[in-house]
Structure 1
Amino acid sequence: MKKLLLAACASAVWASSFAQNPVVYEFSFPNIKHHEAEITMKLSAVPAGPLKVRMSRSSPGRYATHEFGKNVYNVKAFDGKGTPIKIDKVEGDVYTVPAHGADVKITYTLFGNWTDGTYVGLDESHAHLNMPGTLMWAYGFDKRPIRIHFNELKANNWRVATQLKPEGNNTYSGPDLQYVMDSPTELADYKENSWEVTNPDGRKQAIHLTIHSVDGQNVIDNFSKMLQRLVQEEMAVFGKLPNYDYGNYTFLDDVYPTVSGDGMEHRNSTCIVQPAAKIEGNEKRLLGTFAHEYFHSWNVERIRPKTLEPFNFEHANMSNELWLAEGFTQYYGGLLLERAGFDTPEDFYRSAAGLVNSILNTPGGTKYSAIDNSRYAVFADAGVAVDATNKNNMFLSYYTYGGATALALDLQLRSRFNLTLDDFMRRMWVAHPDVSKPYTVADAQTELAALTKDAKFANGFFQEFIYGSGKHDYAAWLDKAGLVLRPARPNVAWAGRIAAQGGRFSEGGSRGAGKGLVIAASTTFGTPVYKAGLDAGDVITAVDGNSIADEAAFNSAIKDKKPGDRVEVTYSNRTGEHKTSIRLEDDPLLEIVTYEKAGKMPSASQLALRNNWLSTKVN
């Protein structure tokens, strides 16, 4: 007992020391027109021995690595008196200070000209700061509190939008490195609308909508009313809001035509970047990102996969659970827009059909498991590669894979157990309420078994559809709601889906090249062009003896054909000119329609299930 008491006292002293010696950052923007910020990091009570500092390579909400160190330069070190001391660059994003005193100051220049949820955007209109792309950090200091001071706010007519705690005098704080790195910050002349939400226990919390756009305040206020309705619908799934740190949740929205579209969830905020001219006239379209990202306020930020906790800023966390963390969130994004009245049921059916098509009609969906596809996120989530990949044939986004899985599970819970996916999400939150109790795939199976009181069902579901690559009978489960899954383009001949932009096959990315149609990437396993032996690097020059110059000519050559017909294709590559035959097939694209649209009469039980599924849950 005495030893435990002494250890507790020592721990308290250590924590007190941390609190008295925070890591302090200071920002200045003397060259903002050229996308630069000057940043100072001050460290005190630095232990003896070499000091190691670095930039991150990964960011919360992203699952692939990103080389933030490439945009940091002019790195210098000083002692407590301001005298320069030696600092060595030992890796591309890692530095060491071999000799120093108790106080060390590191200064550097940060370049940022890419506004999205991952990187940094600096210009005269704003400083858009994703913290892993912004802050250098020191090893061994990750548990210390952090203070950040922003200079020149008034000169730039900027205010600060962030989940960090305001300390006054343009200074903000966070309890440790994990929290601050999860705290995007926007410095801008933004417009704001805030409101309070009361939880069933009477706790009031403030939600802030901050938007950096050209819209007037009236537009922001009207959009805020829409968002308030959506927040109510999302809250109804779980029964209450999370207890947000400092009693606040902040939407940071940046809207401008040249930004890079993105949405990135964080513990008490979300960073949304939308490439549009303005909010006005685009409200419904832009609201979709809010629907997805706010659901993460529960799913991911509280119901947290163990594989993401703690977050590693040196490399990507590989996760087995993204099919649930991101995929179930994707499903709910569309469902909640419909429940809140912003989408029609038909809008939701189209969204659901997209999920079903993805999992039934792609190799990543048919050949690989939910866990396989989740693990590939370390390469796929906005990861950068200059060499070709074969993703067409071995990866399906965990967003759509998980969304399709959520759709099937929701319908099975409703028709077999008189339960819902809402019930499952609430149970997951009770069992795994925060990052202190993250979950594994096995934990999710345990909660499904407890919810349904059917361990055999839960085990079969996970073995076949999560660990394995089995596919649900979507037609049968949709039928329970009086919905029909059917071919969207019956009796239409198909050689392979053609993407809508750029003259590219979605299988392979083909493009016109003057003397033929170039297939620029891997064709997709199982499609007619794949079976015909065509692949990346092949140039289609003729179909049935008629010259082909581009995608339009190829489409024209097959538009009057029927499934089962063959077309003779002449193509060339580095080995010379060749001929092959493409046997056209039925277009596999599926659609979901109501019994009524299909000329059938739904039963009372089918209508009841459908209406309960899609109706608002807000009292």
Structure 2
Amino acid sequence: MKKLLLTTAVALGAAMSALAQADIKYTLSFANAAHHEAEISLTANALTAAPLKVRMSRSSAGRYATHEFGKNVYNVKAWDGAGKPLAIEQLEGDVWVVAKHGPVVKVTYTLFANWTDGTYASIDPSHAHLNMPPTMMWAVGMDARPIHLKFTDYEKYGWKFATQLKPEGAPGAYFAPNFQYMMDSPTELSNFNIASWKVKNADGKEQSIRLAIHSDDTQATIDKFAEHIKKIVLEEQAIFGELPAYDYGDYIFLDDVHPTVSGDGMEHRNSTCIVHPAEKIEGNETRLLSTYAHEFFHAWNVKRIRPKSLEPFDYSHADMSSDLWFAEGFTQYYGGLTLTRAGFGKPEDYVFTANGLINTVLTSPAALKYTPTQMSRYSVFADAGVSIDPNNNANVFTSYYTYGGAIALGLDLKLRADRGITLDDYMTAVWKTLGKNMKPYTTADLQAVLAKVTTPTYAADFFDNYVNGIKKIDYAPLLDKAGMILRKAAPGKAWAGNIGGLAQRGRSGAARTVATTSGIPLTGSTAQNSPLYKAGLDAGDTMLKADGKELADAGSLQEIISGKKPGDKISITYKNRAGEHETTLTLEESPAYEVITYEKAGKELTKDQSAFRTAWLSSKVK
């Protein structure tokens, strides 16, 4: 019996030892940073005899379209635990397999990275800007393994580390509890400036907020800018009544500011990656705040109030969701609202934000035909998707950011007017019901929470009409309660539609050129609700004459139209590959709206309207 127990103990100990070693180790070296390269290795141990498959990602957390990150990986090799070469076969553009191996396999590769934004990676002597999906090859089927990362060859550049990864003792050593956490952890290596402060929650517990900015600014500028960010943090904390419980008690903003970078913002669980194409922070402080307000709100909405369709995030293909109208759209609404509440804009100036949101849903051809859930699903093509051929987005897509933002605006005003509660109350209920306990939601779950704070009938009516349907909120009487007027932007004036004039642009930002010696080339789709479309004009046509007068540019057409009125008809001469043609353009009144205050309209604001506006747009920090 004793012998049996001893044997069992030895076997159990061996199994536990093997389990303890079942992790993933990475090393990242930057000796060739001048040429935008990193040398990266992945080591997996405690392997079975089954083939080991490794791959690069094709999507990125917070990005919903497909990206080909495998294109910038080369020199892929494999080794055993003793350093002997192993055969590795490339199965697809971003997938490799080691068929025969022992318990340890090390895969090495070279990464080229030269695009600084919230999705990709870039490396040069000034920094290593690492979003993880385009950086890290990963072992398929080993998502639960703990991960250890070691960065080398960074000291000579004077780099420091900014990341939500957990430091692990030695300099340059970091830890992620699993694959999903690592992939959600952007990391900036540079000589950045940092500011940090503590924020206390309602339960008395403090958490750290850090601001790391790689820019040409002084520390004094960053410290001053941090005071602005503090206001945003507190306003958004006030909406939910608390900060989320960050995994290591810490949240970090990573911002890269330089004229050569590509503007972007990307939310992560305990951090956000922000990129601003500006000379520096100094002199641009207020202009740069909107990205911070939007991305920090995601710490609640998206990263914890999590759509079931994105959980867990699949990095092997595009991730589609019907709920981005809420995840991104409501965040868009609160980003602008937070700035006003924090004092970075006067309440009466909020009309400009409301104007943009409302015009999206009332004038966009796609919003007039498709539901917010349908537009959310189109994200797999629209969210920085990589393609070179033109699309028909002018007619088939409306951004779920502004579409959802307009829904949030309408629901906020309706709740205030109809129920005496606010969208803040609804968001808090969503947080407590779904987000705080990380229960992934469906559209039906969001409706159920609205039913709890209102009534089942109220919630069903709202979702049936405005979320799962295409009916539009009647904004005019709701805005009137805040002393704001919704009216036509150009009543009685003739309108032909938005002239293309600008080429379709690919991911690189390069315009598609159109060879022409005269006239107005239409390089993008015309909108279906425009006179241009109804006259049969579209991409590929060049407008030569209007009303018998030659056209040199869009301005010359507008000059002709300015002397007309809605209902007037003008002849258009145009050409395309089929030859030269004539058509008749019937001018209309522009469908665009504008929002103005009572004060600007020369009307007196009542006490009730003033109180409504103040309750809506004033600070909620106590």
- TM-score range, shorter-chain basis? over 0.9
For residues 597-612 of structure 1, the aligned pairs below 5 Å read: 597-612=600-615
Q: Residues 27, 144 of structure 1: CA spacing in aligned structure 2 closer, same or farther, 3 A cutoff?
A: same
SS of the equivalent of 2:74 reads strand
1:247-303, Cα deviation, whole Å (9 max, x unpaired):
000000000001000000000000000000000000000011000000001000111
Amino acid paired to 2:201? N
1:292-330, Cα deviation, whole Å (9 max, x unpaired):
000001000111111110000111221011000000000
Q: By how many angstroms is 1:500 displaced?
A: 9.2
Q: Residues 11, 250 of structure 1: CA spacing in aligned structure 2 closer, same or farther, 3 A cutoff?
A: farther
- Match of 2:77? 76
Q: By how many angstroms is 1:231 displaced?
A: 0.7
- Match of 1:39? 40
Q: By how many angstroms is 1:591 displaced?
A: 1.3
Q: Residues 15, 558 of structure 1: CA spacing in aligned structure 2 closer, same or farther, 3 A cutoff?
A: farther
* Structure 1 unaligned blocks of 5 or more: 1-9
1:193-231, Cα deviation, whole Å (9 max, x unpaired):
000001111111100000000000110000001110111
- Match of 1:331? 333
- Match of 2:24? 23
1:201 aligns with 2:203: yes
- Match of 2:528? 525
Whole-angstrom CA distance in 2 between matches of 1:15 and 1:344:
62
Whole-angstrom CA distance in 1 between matches of 2:608 and 2:264:
40
- Match of 1:284? 286
SS of the equivalent of 2:572 reads strand
Q: Residues 266, 19 of structure 1: CA spacing in aligned structure 2 closer, same or farther, 3 A cutoff?
A: farther
Q: Residues 116, 18 of structure 1: CA spacing in aligned structure 2 closer, same or farther, 3 A cutoff?
A: farther
Whole-angstrom CA distance in 2 between matches of 1:558 and 1:140:
63
Checking the alignment, whether the CA contact within 8 Å between 2:120 and 2:131 is kept in structure 1 is: yes
Whole-angstrom CA distance in 2 between matches of 1:464 and 1:14:
58
- Match of 2:317? 315
Q: Residues 365, 18 of structure 1: CA spacing in aligned structure 2 closer, same or farther, 3 A cutoff?
A: farther
Amino acid paired to 1:447? V
SS of the equivalent of 2:395 reads helix
Whole-angstrom CA distance in 2 between matches of 1:509 and 1:531:
25
Checking the alignment, whether the CA contact within 8 Å between 2:501 and 2:522 is kept in structure 1 is: no
Q: Residues 338, 436 of structure 1: CA spacing in aligned structure 2 closer, same or farther, 3 A cutoff?
A: closer
Checking the alignment, whether the CA contact within 8 Å between 1:328 and 1:402 is kept in structure 2 is: yes
Q: Residues 512, 448 of structure 1: CA spacing in aligned structure 2 closer, same or farther, 3 A cutoff?
A: farther
Q: By how many angstroms is 1:594 displaced?
A: 1.5
Whole-angstrom CA distance in 1 between matches of 2:347 and 2:14:
59
- Match of 1:165? 166
Whole-angstrom CA distance in 1 between matches of 2:559 and 2:73:
52
- Match of 2:464? 463
User: Please, which of 586, 590, 595 is the counterpart of residue 589 of structure 2?
Assistant: 586
1:79-118, Cα deviation, whole Å (9 max, x unpaired):
0010111000010100000100001000000001000000
- Match of 2:620? 617
- Match of 1:306? 308
1:546 aligns with 2:554: no
Q: By how many angstroms is 1:553 displaced?
A: 2.1
Q: Residues 365, 11 of structure 1: CA spacing in aligned structure 2 closer, same or farther, 3 A cutoff?
A: farther
- Match of 2:266? 264
For residues 174-573 of structure 1, the aligned pairs below 5 Å read: 174-434=176-436, 436-452=438-454, 454-498=455-499, 513-573=516-576
Scaled by the length of structure 2, the TM-score of the pair is 0.94
Q: Residues 19, 414 of structure 1: CA spacing in aligned structure 2 closer, same or farther, 3 A cutoff?
A: farther
Q: By how many angstroms is 1:161 displaced?
A: 0.4
Amino acid paired to 1:484? I
Q: Residues 519, 19 of structure 1: CA spacing in aligned structure 2 closer, same or farther, 3 A cutoff?
A: farther
Checking the alignment, whether the CA contact within 8 Å between 2:430 and 2:449 is kept in structure 1 is: yes
* Structure 2 unaligned blocks of 5 or more: 1-10, 506-510
SS of the equivalent of 1:289 reads helix
Q: By how many angstroms is 1:14 displaced?
A: 8.2
Q: By how many angstroms is 1:555 displaced?
A: 2.1
Amino acid paired to 2:600? K
Checking the alignment, whether the CA contact within 8 Å between 2:504 and 2:523 is kept in structure 1 is: no
Checking the alignment, whether the CA contact within 8 Å between 1:213 and 1:278 is kept in structure 2 is: yes
- Number of matched pairs: 606
Scaled by the length of structure 1, the TM-score of the pair is 0.95
Amino acid paired to 1:549? A
